[in-house]
A and B are shown apart, each in its own frame.
Chain A
């Protein structure tokens, strides 16, 4: 079962930052937070992951609260191509426990 809670949908104006929240209040000390997105029925695309420190890459930033019970994915300058369903997933990094549990995600719509 998914261990995360996300809003069902969000809108964001094109060019603005999109901030997607995720609650994972039961996260364990050895579980990472992962974000994937799925654009219109394509295969999911990896975005970013982190354990406790904030992370940034060319796609997005991940802000994890100090108690690790929630996180926020930030798309700094949303474009129309960022319209997708965004999945927040927690998982342990160990052999044999590699499957991803996808919940219902957040449907982000970027508005022109």
Chain B
């Protein structure tokens, strides 16, 4: 079984551009989570989604950040008008519909804002 897939693995954006990060959960998983890891820090929760629903976005910055998990296709984390402080590794995780337990993480997308 393929694991959680994220693309791109590396993304470079200039200040003011938009960044789109994609996450395909493991087969059969309908819960998706996004986390951000700043350099030399631990992961910070951003948002938890199920198909077509945002369940918990308590960790999302109030502006410029949005996430979706459509009925078909991958989950998208969108960052508008990126700034240097958005440079980080963004990890996606998924879990099965009946499993509140372990989350399976993807390899991450490393965003660099120049």
Tell me whether A and B are bound partners.
yes
Give the B-binding residues of A (Cβ under 8 A). 2, 34, 38, 41-46, 49, 87, 93-105
Give the A-binding residues of B (Cβ under 8 A). 4, 31, 33, 35, 41-45, 48, 55-56, 58-59, 89, 91, 93, 95, 100-108
Given known pairs A104-B42, A105-B42, the reply for A99 and B56 (CB within 8 Å) is: yes
**Closest A residue to B59 using CB positions:** A99
The answer to whether A98 touches B33, judged by C-beta atoms less than 8 angstroms apart, is yes
The answer to whether B55 touches A49, judged by C-beta atoms less than 8 angstroms apart, is no
In the complex, chain B residues whose CB is within 8 Å of the CB of A43: 4, 91, 93, 105-108
In the complex, chain A residues whose CB is within 8 Å of the CB of B56: 96-99
Given known pairs A41-B108, A43-B4, A93-B101, the reply for A98 and B91 (CB within 8 Å) is: no
Measured in the bound complex, the distance between the Cα atoms of B93 and A53 in whole Å is 27
In the complex, chain B residues whose CB is within 8 Å of the CB of A96: 48, 55-56
Closest 4 CB pairs of A and B: A43-B105, A99-B45, A46-B102, A102-B42
Measured in the bound complex, the distance between the Cα atoms of B58 and A42 in whole Å is 24
Measured in the bound complex, the distance between the Cα atoms of B91 and A67 in whole Å is 34
The answer to whether A94 touches B43, judged by C-beta atoms less than 8 angstroms apart, is no
The answer to whether A98 touches B100, judged by C-beta atoms less than 8 angstroms apart, is yes
The answer to whether B100 touches A95, judged by C-beta atoms less than 8 angstroms apart, is yes
Q: Determine how close the nearest CB of chain A comes to the CB of B76; give it in whole angstroms.
A: 18
Measured in the bound complex, the distance between the Cα atoms of B88 and A48 in whole Å is 27
Given known pairs A102-B44, A104-B42, the reply for A44 and B95 (CB within 8 Å) is: no
**24 A-B pairs in the complex with CB atoms less than 8 angstroms apart:** A2-B42, A34-B102, A38-B43, A41-B89, A41-B108, A42-B107, A42-B108, A43-B4, A43-B91, A43-B93, A43-B105, A43-B106, A44-B91, A46-B102, A49-B102, A87-B42, A94-B100, A96-B48, A96-B56, A98-B31, A98-B95, A99-B59, A100-B45, A102-B42
In the complex, chain A residues whose CB is within 8 Å of the CB of B89: 41
The answer to whether B108 touches A103, judged by C-beta atoms less than 8 angstroms apart, is no
The answer to whether A44 touches B102, judged by C-beta atoms less than 8 angstroms apart, is no
**Closest A residue to B42 using CB positions:** A102
Q: Given known contacts A38-B43, A98-B100, what 5 new A-B pairs fall within 8 Å (CB)?
A: A43-B106, A87-B42, A98-B103, A99-B45, A99-B58
